[in-house]
Amino acid sequence: MSINYLVIEGNIGAGKTTLAQMISKKYQAKLVLEQFADNPFLPKFYENQEQYSFPLEMAFLAERYNQLNRELSHFDLFSPFTVSDYYFMKSLIFAQNTLQPDEYNLYRQFFTIIYDKMPKPDLYVYLHKDPDLLLGNIAKRGRDYETYITKDYLEKIAQGYFSYFRQQRDLRVLVVDSNSLDFVNKPEDFEKITETIFNEQFSKGVTRILLD
């Protein structure tokens, strides 16, 4: 399948950034990574979600739009395709789970104005991993502000993603069950994923696969 714009997504701790980096290195693809660490509201949000959820999500919305608009508006002659570790729709999925109804309604108005103008990926890959495994990965990387992440929060985020997937008719969404995969330490697992992404044909809508 011809891919010019590939998105690797997943819940917090699913390994989306690592996989995007590995794909970029293997295929010499242009890499676009979310600059989440630059958001000044992120540590405050995990300590007090109710107070800081709206400024956090608005800051993410602005940063994601600016970055994707900048990175995707120019074709890179030296790269065969672009791979990113997030998609703009992520903004709405997380906001739906963090904002109060009145805040979310206001946020969605801003989001809708922007979303229709954003490029759509040729393939959207979602790495699905159970919450307990996600928590283990989060603990390993040792970010102080992530110690406040709970299993319940991760489950709500996953529900938001799958609710979004059920509504999709115009995107090619590939959901990969990655519970038993270790593509970082097992080259054969990495090959399974890349062979599936680049050698298989996917119709619009959602395709779910189990790689073991």
Catalytically annotated residues: 85
Distance CA(85)–CA(32), nearest Å, equals 7
| C-alpha triplet 200, 172, 34: angle, nearest 5° | 105
Q: Which amino acid is at 167?
A: Q
Rg (CA), the chain: 17
Q: Is 74 helix (H, G, I), strand (E, B) or coil?
A: coil
Residues 6+ apart with CB under 8 A from 144: 43
Distance CA(139)–CA(76), nearest Å, equals 36
Q: Could you identify the residue written with the tokens 């603990």?
A: 139
Residues 6+ apart with CB under 8 A from 154: 11, 12, 13, 131, 134, 135
Q: Which amino acid is at 58?
A: M
